[in-house]
Amino acid sequence: MFAKDALSYSAIPLPDRSEMTDDEMQAAALAFYDRMRTRHTVRDYIDRPVPRQVIEDCIRTAGVAPSGANHQPWHFAAVSAPELKARIRAEAEEEEKRFYAGGAGDEWIKALEPIGTNAVKEHLTVAPWLIVVFAQRWGEFDDGTRYKNYYVPESVNIATGFLLAALHHAGLCTLTHTPNPMKFLNEALGRPASEKPTMIIAVGHPAPDATVPAVAKIKKPLDQIASFFD
């Protein structure tokens, strides 16, 4: 991304501006809210293919997220190969079996009951794409020496949010999956030790009989998630 001997500041005029009236801003904000509130976490997919170009463009959107020192400490491994998805599912389910067998603790298992999850992760092979999110704990200059990345979890979380919004905007459904531990993904996807897998995102089209937990439609009202100090 940059050379070790070329770390200098240079300012350019703001390249993109959005000039809106107050009314236009309010309409745009409400329209985006209306779009995003139709996003649902889906566990039931059909194997209808999704063009790679759609996935690429959504990942491009994730790549424009802000990051600490603009180091962009993320990598998105997009998987559609059936044999590789099957391997990921098999290894993820092994972790999930241990989780549901007591590794998670009673309180966590109890909290998941309204969601209806279990150790079977069929979506990992049925959904046409899996996107594995990696956080890069350090990077390398073009001469191979390391440099530190900053605010890595925060930066990767923001980029992942961009990605989920982009996928929904493209008409796709997603499911975020976090087996623990996930180190098997580095080996399966050939990622270096500097990267830590943070999430598997299943991406595709919902099955005709897809359902969501009723509790998932219960969202906290604005006065419980925000404070204003005018």
Q: What percent of the chain has pLDDT over 90?
A: 76
pLDDT value of residue 116: 81
Which pLDDT score is estimated for 224? 97
Task: Report residue 141's pLDDT band, with 50, 70 and 90 as the boundaries.
Answer: confident
Round to whole Å and give the CA distance between 48 and 140. 39
Residues 125 and 230: their CA atoms lie apart, in Å, by: 50
Say which CATH topology domain 49-209 has: NADH Oxidase (3.40.109)
- CA nearest to 190, candidates 94, 92, 88: 88
Annotated domain spans of the chain: 49-209
pLDDT at 104 over 80: no
The H-or-E segment that residue 168 falls in is: helix 152-169
Residue 116 contacts by C-beta under 8 Å, 6 or more apart in sequence?
213
